[in-house]
A and B are shown apart, each in its own frame.
Chain A
Amino acid sequence: MSNDNNNSLKKIMLNGLLNKNPILVSGMVIAPVIVLANNFKNAVMLVIAFSLITFFTLLVSSFVPKSIVYTIRIILYTLIGALVYVPSVILLNYFMPEGVEAIGIFFPLFITNSFIVTRSESIFFLETKGKMFLDIVFCILGYDAAVLIFAALREILASGTIGGKMTGMPASFRVFEHPFGGFIMLGLFAALFRSILLLIKRVRQK
């Protein structure tokens, strides 16, 4: 029994972090990453805001009963998100006002992110609250890790710096600072991630 539990635990962990990584595999909540995560500083702020809003919204959303009509349920999720936004923005504005300014309109946009809708719907398929809790945490962690690594790489490529310090790159590709550069870079990054996963799978099979 405990072995079974361990296995499913591992599966949830790996799903969130790797196999079903929200940003690299499923393509959820990519807008702020593409527009804003062109330097490490913004990415840190983005990750904090995303984790705060998504975690608490999903936590509260899990109490929404399934018997409510789908239409109303969707509105309820977003409403909860908007309510969670109020304390989050006050809190973050108190501690790091410049950060909140830097992410601008993308902070309130986390309310309607596709991650909240899909996760809160899929929660119904998981048996226990504990598993659901773990699932959310690892998905958010997977998202955060991917965004931070992506932003660091993007900053190195786009401006030759990391966290504002020079790295001595021979050329900087300014395209990657723009949203369209973000699209291309995220596409390349996701392809790289997928081929690495494939490689790991092959090595394991051998």
Chain B
Amino acid sequence: MDMLKNIILTAFTAVFAENIIFSGALGTSTLIIVSRNRKNLLGFGLSVTYITALMSVITYFLNKALRIDENSYIYTPLVYIIILGAVYILTLLCLWRFAPAVFRRMKKYIHISAFNCAVLGALFLISERCETLGEYFIHGLGIGLGFVLAVYLTAIVYDRLYSEKAPYSFRGYPLLLIYIGILGMAFWGLSGHTLKF
């Protein structure tokens, strides 16, 4: 029971209270690109959640090795990037070999979901916050889902943000930032607290 509570709490915190966009702003540039098309959402969401979850587990073992060296912060990003690149290529190869139909459909989402601030930032955040393997995994999964949530919330009002009715100087990008900011204000109400059961 206690474990279940912990899992729900960790996941909830990662998805809502410490949402990677609303409170961390990581990957906002990617969000701007992806939220343009509502049809891509599912494919993109799946691949970004997959990458963060998988990478967070790998990061757990990497960090164990890296933390021995005091100066490891100098080359930690390099190691992360190499592993991320390897995972990315392996995923593409696996998909291409075993599910070519899926590969053709997912190809364009995978690169945008693998190499962005959100994924790399998630790895750094998780390394700061988590201790056990379970926490790493759930947090990784939660961050991925939280990112998808943010993209979804932006995509559903995309036509309003870019509509002719909005004044020219606000239309589009500035309005999108204000929109995310207002939602972030509301989500802020959740942070710094603990869930009661």
Contacts and interface: CB of A to CB of B under 8 A. Distances in A.
Interface residues of A, number: 48
Interface stretch (B42-50, B97-105, B121-129): B121-129
Nearest to A182: B25
B175 A187 contact: yes
Nearest to B22: A180
Contacts of B173: 25-27, 190
Contact of A30 (B29, B73, B168): B29
Which range contains the number of B residues in contact with the other chain?
A: 35 or more
Contacts of B82: 79, 82
A187 B174 CA distance: 4
Contact of B121 (A31, A74, A184, A192): A31
B89 A71 contact: yes
Contacts of B81: 75, 78-79, 81-82, 111-112
A183 B184 contact: yes
A85 B30 contact: no
Interface string B5-29: 0000000000000000011111111
A116 B80 CA distance: 18
Given A86-B75, A186-B177, A191 B170 contact: yes
B115 interface: yes
B169 interface: yes
Given A108-B77, A180-B184, A194-B168, A78 B85 contact: yes
Given A71-B111, A179-B184, A190-B174, A35 B120 contact: no
B32 A27 contact: yes
Contact of A179 (B23, B85, B176): B23
A138 B73 CA distance: 31
Interface of B: 22-30, 32, 73-78, 80-82, 84-85, 88-89, 92, 111, 115-117, 119-121, 124-125, 128, 168-170, 173-185, 187-188
Given A74-B111, A184-B178, 13 more contacts: A71-B89, A78-B84, A82-B81, A86-B78, A105-B124, A105-B128, A109-B120, A114-B29, A175-B185, A180-B23, A180-B183, A187-B176, A194-B169
Interface of A: 25-31, 34-35, 70-71, 74-75, 78-79, 81-83, 85-86, 89-90, 105, 108-109, 111-114, 117, 175, 178-188, 190-192, 194-195, 198
Closest 3 CB pairs of A and B: A180-B184, A183-B181, A187-B177
